[in-house]
Amino acid sequence: EVQVSQSGGDLVQPGGSLRLSCVMSGFMPRRYAMSWVRQAPGKGLEWVASISDDGDSAFYADSVKGRFTISRDNSKNSMYVQMNRLRVEDTAVYYCVGRIDYWGQGTLVTVSS
Amino acid sequence: DIQMTQSPSTLAASVGDRITITCRASQSIGNWLAWYQLKPGKAPKLLIYKASSLQSGVPSRFSGSGSGTEFTLTISSLQPDDFATYYCQLYDTYSQFTFGPGTKVDLK
């Protein structure tokens, strides 16, 4: 059975930093691209970032480029996103996604003073 | 960047209705199109991938069609569990992972 476990969501002040983590099991995540997707309150789904299977290539939405860094550790079946210079508009539930079909439960990031 | 649009934005329907949601891409995306169902407090659920392939475990009343720039999601007989918001998604590579704005299916 595939399991996707997320952690790291929290309340943080504008300008602050946060790191989200995701651990996958039950399939071979190291063979696939992985992504972060978010949903702000009352809004639709927004792709945030993706990383290639080997971790060599990373891609970002314009809204987070230069502030967020996606990474993965295939030895731990894990993926991360380091979020710096957080803004109020980054407030959202963040989902870890393996391929396109394996989604985590979501973790809430709240950016507020 | 490729933009995705959906219509309608809201759809009011009754149990048993046949409904269709349309998704359009600003340029051809082949068949790299997925459909998701989203309910409050839950992770998105993949329904359709590669435009018309039914994800394992998804009821056969869901179907997808289209290629290039125009795609449709059809629910042949709406069930109470189907009232939700539906999103299309371009996923041709991990650098193109764009969602449509969503279609909310409400009870008439």
Q: Which of A45, A102, A105 to mutate to test the interface with B (most CBs of B within 10 A)?
A: A45
* Residues in CB range of A42: below 8 A, 6 or more apart: none
Name the 3-class secondary structure at A88: helix
Beta strand spans in B1-108 (E): 4-7, 10-13, 19-25, 33-38, 45-49, 53-54, 62-67, 70-75, 85-90, 103-107
Residue B81 is classified by DSSP as: G
Least confident of A56-60, B61-65, B68-72, B99-103: A56-60
Res B93: pLDDT: 67
Instruction: State the amino acid at position B15 in one-letter form.
Output: V
Res B47: pLDDT: 98
* pLDDT over 90 at A28, yes or no: no
Output the average pLDDT for chain A: 94
Report the Cα A44 to chain-centroid distance in Å: 16
A62-101 residues touching B, CB cutoff 8 A: 95, 100-101
Res A2: pLDDT: 86
Q: What is the mean pLDDT of residues B10-29?
A: 96
Res A38: pLDDT: 97
**B97: nearest CB among A47, A52, A106:** A47
Q: What is the mean pLDDT of residues B46-54?
A: 97
- Residue contact A44–B99, C-beta within 8 A: yes
- Residue contact B98–A47, C-beta within 8 A: yes
Rg of chain A taking only CA atoms, in angstroms: 13
Res B94: pLDDT: 62
Phi-psi sector, A8: left (phi>0), alpha (psi -120 to 50), beta: left
Res B92: pLDDT: 74
Res A70: pLDDT: 97
Cα–Cα nearest to A36, from A87, A88, A109, A103: A103
Res B45: pLDDT: 95
**What is the C-alpha to C-alpha distance for residues B46 and A27, in angstroms, rounded to an integer?**
17
Q: Token pair 């894990």 is at which residue?
A: A78
Query: How many percent of chain A have pLDDT more than 90?
Result: 85
Phi-psi sector, A9: left (phi>0), alpha (psi -120 to 50), beta: beta
Res B95: pLDDT: 63
- Residue contact A50–B94, C-beta within 8 A: yes
Give the pairing of strands B53-54 and B45-49: antiparallel
Structure confidence at residue A31 as a pLDDT band (50, 70, 90)? confident
